[in-house]
Amino acid sequence: MKRPVSLHYVSQIFLLQAAALYRMNISNPALLATISADLIINGTADEIMKERKTEILYCNQIVNEMRNGYIVESKLTCQIQYLLLPDYFTGKSFEIYALQAGVQVYGAERFTVGNKPADKTARISVITHPTINDLTEGIQRLKKYYHKE
């Protein structure tokens, strides 16, 4: 079986840092407020936001180039995109199908509130991949398996 490509990824370093901060015997809100204030004052926060926006634009351009009509067109600043599903798939069944292809996506049913039926879509995160190559490989796998049926 192919190595799973996660389009939803949280950095292990971030998790370890968050866990360490949480376990420390200090007031987390006060520490986070101090860190945030320092980032804003010295301009680092602006640089981080600018780099993040650039990355999101680049990733969306990659996804849009591979779209071929089966991914809903969205703004280049969106952090997620939606894959239109054929009638024979539900969001949940496509989640399972995509996972077998080594790609993690989430069906629209996970995000539906109320009694309106969920749209026939799967949600793709554009920004949580570890590398650009993982994003590209994940989209290629989805295209391959999407057109197989």
**What backbone torsions phi and psi does residue 125 show, to the nearest 5 degrees?**
-80, 130
Instruction: Encode pLDDT of 65-79 as tens digits.
Output: 877 767 777 888 888
* 80-84/121-125 β-pairing: antiparallel
In the chain, CATH 3.90.1150.10 sits at 52-146
Mean pLDDT of 46-67: 87
- Pick the closest to residue 107 from 147, 80, 75 (CA basis): 80
Does the structural domain 52-146 have CATH classification 3.40.630.10?
no
Tokens 């939606």 map to which residue? 82
Q: What is the pLDDT of residue 147?
A: 66
Q: What is the pLDDT of residues 78-136, one digit of tens each?
A: 888 888 888 888 888 999 988 988 888 999 888 888 888 888 888 888 888 888 899 88
Mean pLDDT of the chain: 81
The pLDDT, as a whole number, for residue 57 is 92
What tokens were used for 45? 């926060």
More confident residue, 149 or 36: 36
Token output for 59: 């990733």
